[in-house]
Amino acid sequence: MAIETLSLQLRSLVKASGELELSLAQVPTPQPAEDEILVRIEGTPINPSDLGLLIGPADLSQATATGAGPAAKVTAPVAPQFLKALKPRLDQSMPVGNEGAGVVVAAGASPAAQALVGKTVAILGGAMYAQYRAVKAADALVLPEGATAADGASCFVNPLTALGMVETMRREGHTALIHTAAASNLGQMLNKICIKDGVGLVNVVRNAEQAKILTDIGAKYVVDSSEPDFVEKLTDTIAETGATLAFDAIGGGKLAGQILGAIETAANRKATEYSRYGSSTYKQVYIYGGLDTRPTELARNFGLSWGLGGWLLTPFLMKIGPAEAQRLRQRVADELKTTFASHYTAEISLAEVLDPKIMAAYNKRATGEKYLINPNKGL
Ligand SMILES: NC(=O)c1ccc[n+]([C@@H]2O[C@H](COP(=O)([O-])OP(=O)(O)OC[C@H]3O[C@@H](n4cnc5c(N)ncnc54)[C@H](OP(=O)(O)O)[C@@H]3O)[C@@H](O)[C@H]2O)c1
């Protein structure tokens, strides 16, 4: 198949005047350098981390669409109070899309790059909401025989984060985990990993449907934050699993503090003497998402042996080094259709990403509502 010299790339622009503009830019198709491959992207997911860059704080209820196909454009207002935080990106047209998969259609001269021509690969590195993307051959993950681009589109961000949580637990001396917004795509993967690896996992969800999703895939401990006895149940399951480390995707509100408090109460159940500094059990919560953007509230009813921090995949992978990171990537490839399978609500074209009705649906970040973009699907 001939490769077009110009191809489409989705762009997100926030203007200093307070307007988000999403459009499709015609850009020169990248030429792979000596050690690079050119991938025709056929699957790239819309994850919460992509939505931060794609839409940010724009008010989609006031979105206006114009044009069709490659000329599609959508604009939406951004309230003035958000512009300060967006300063580094104002008036810059930015490509979007953390990860994706597709077929290698051209390669630089190096043998490693040439060996990948025709293969279906998964890649990471931004600017994936585009018809073509060039990356270093060494950074591509070759998908197993028979796997499609849709199977491999979400190979990195959620799978490696879920594996990274278990790895962090082991490295930091904890033996079981607590996870919030636990029926998410990532949360379901984490359950499969923990079941397979025999790691105790307390899942925190916010309604009964989410609890069912998890028990149906074999989760043993699921607590619902909308139940009146939530904190007692959280404490009981923490006591039973021995979990002292939580990964919190929500961030805002009381939940992180409630978890620290529940770990403390569970630890005190075993205490033989009183300490005015609280238990000596070290309790850690990592906030790794911002599903609730309000401030984090801590009641500090959990002594002084605790930590609250942020957790991000890329620095974690740099910390563990290339050999360990490759071991995790290989596990993702080996278990692509089982542990790390992702399900999508719909496969949409680049132009459909700019359809206000579809935008409202994917921007909800709702359970089981993940969209896959196929940039090479007809517009
Ligand atoms: N730090 C990192 O390196 C890293 C890497 C990967 C992913 N992440 C984070 O991981 C999280 C999950 O990603 P995903 O792709 O698996 O998400 P997803 O499948 O889109 O699911 C999002 C889940 O969050 C729930 N949710 C949304 N807003 C919420 C709120 N305010 N309070 C409680 N629950 C809420 C949704 O439930 P409802 O249906 O009830 O709304 C849904 O179950 C995201 O926060 C993402 O940013 C972080």
- 87 and 143 part of one domain: yes
Same domain, 276 and 296: yes
pLDDT in tens, 81-103: 999 999 999 999 999 999 999 99
Is the CA virtual torsion 328, 331, 332, 338 positive or negative? negative
Q: What are the tens digits of pLDDT across the range 126-164?
A: 999 999 999 999 999 999 999 999 999 999 999 999 999
For the chain, first and last CA: distance in Å? Answer: 18
Residue 330 located in a structural domain? no
Q: Look up the CATH number of the domain holding residue 69.
A: 3.90.180.10
The larger pLDDT score, comparing residue 302 to residue 368, is at 302
Residue 335: inside a domain: no
pLDDT at 27 over 80: yes
Supply the DSSP string of 83-115, one letter for each residue: HTTTGGGBT--EE--SEEEEEEEEE-SSHHHHT
Q: Please indicate, yes or no, whether residues 167 and 144 belong to a single structural domain of this protein.
A: no
Residues with CB under 6 A from ligand 1: 47-49, 157-158, 161, 181, 183-186, 206, 249-250, 288-289, 291-292, 311-313, 365-367, 370
The reply to whether 379 falls in a domain is: no
The whole-number pLDDT of residue 203 equals 99
What pLDDT score does 73 carry? 97
- How many domains does the chain divide into? 2
Q: Do 139 and 164 share a structural domain? A: no
The structure's pTM equals: 0.91
Q: Which residue, of 271, 295, 315, is where some domain finishes?
A: 315
180 in the same domain as 111: no
Same domain, 211 and 256: yes
Average pLDDT value for residue range 8-15: 98
CA of 38 to the centre of ligand 1 (A): 31
The answer on 164 and 309 residing in a single domain is: yes
Query: 288 C-alpha to center of ligand 1: Å?
Result: 10
CA 52 to chain CA centroid, Å, is: 11
- What is the arithmetic mean of pLDDT over 238-262? 98
The residue among 339, 330, 324, 332 whose CA lies nearest residue 195 is 339
Residues 90 and 23 placed together within one structural domain of the fold: yes
Contact 370, 185 (CB under 8 A): yes
Residues 128 and 80 in one domain: yes
Mutate to test the pocket of ligand 1, among 316, 365, 370 (most ligand atoms within 8 A of CB): 365
- Are residues 106 and 41 both part of a single domain? yes
What's the average model confidence in pLDDT over 298-318?
Answer: 97
Structure tokens at 102: 């597709």
Q: What share of the chain is helix, strand, coil (3-state, %, to 5)?
A: 35, 30, 40
Say how many Å lie between the CA of residue 70 and the centre of ligand 1: 31
pLDDT tens digits for 226-245?
A: 999 999 999 999 999 999 99
Q: What is the mean pLDDT of the chain?
A: 96
Predicted local confidence at residue 150, as pLDDT: 97
**Same domain membership, residue 237 and residue 150:** no
**Is 379's pLDDT higher than 80?**
no
Percent of the chain with pLDDT over 70: 100
| Of the candidate ranges 66-70, 117-121, 125-129, 275-279, the one whose mean pLDDT is the lowest | 275-279
SS3 272: coil
Question: Which of 252-268 are b and which e, b meaning 16 or more Cβ less than 10 Å from the residue's Cβ?
Answer: bebbbbbbbbbbbbbbb
SS3 312: coil
Alpha carbon distance 99, 127 (integer Å): 8
Helix ranges restricted to H, the chain: 48-54, 80-83, 111-114, 149-152, 157-171, 185-197, 208-216, 230-241, 255-269, 313-334, 350-353, 356-362
Residues 10 and 121 in one domain: yes
The pLDDT tens digits of the residues spanning 157-209 come to 999 999 999 999 999 999 999 999 999 999 999 999 999 999 999 999 999 99
289 CA → ligand 1 middle, Å: 7
CB 23 within 8 A of CB 15: no
Residue 88 lies in a domain: yes
Residue whose tokens read 């563990």: 320
Maximum pairwise Cα distance, the chain: 75
Going by DSSP bridges, is the β-strand pair 292-296/251-253 parallel, antiparallel, or unpaired?
parallel
Ligand 1: centre distance to CA 159 (Å): 14
Reply yes or no on whether the pLDDT at 3 is more than 90. Answer: no
Per-residue model confidence (pLDDT) at position 86: 95
Dist. CA 63–CA 357, nearest whole Å: 10
In a domain, 322, yes or no: no
- Is 104 among the domain residues? yes
Is residue 193 in some structural domain? yes
Q: What is residue 66's three-state secondary structure?
A: strand
**Residue 10 in domain:** yes
Probe target for ligand 1 pocket from 55, 180, 186, with the most ligand atoms within 8 Å of CB: 186
Predicted local distance difference test score (pLDDT) of residue 212: 98
pLDDT of 257 reads 98
Q: Specify the pLDDT at position 103.
A: 98
Q: Which domain holds residue 120?
A: 6-154+343-373
Ligand 1 atom 29 nearest Cα: 291
| Per-residue confidence (pLDDT) for residue 275, from 0 to 100 | 81
What is the torsional sign of CA 11, 15, 20, 21?
negative
Whichever domain contains 277, its CATH number is 3.40.50.720
pLDDT above 90 (res 274): no
User: Has residue 1 got a pLDDT over 70?
Assistant: no
Determine the Cα–Cα distance for residues 185 and 341; give it in Å rounded to an integer: 9
What whole-number percentage of the chain has pLDDT above 90? 93
Q: CA 307 to CA 84: how far, in whole Å?
A: 29
Phi/psi of residue 369, nearest 5 degrees: -115, 65
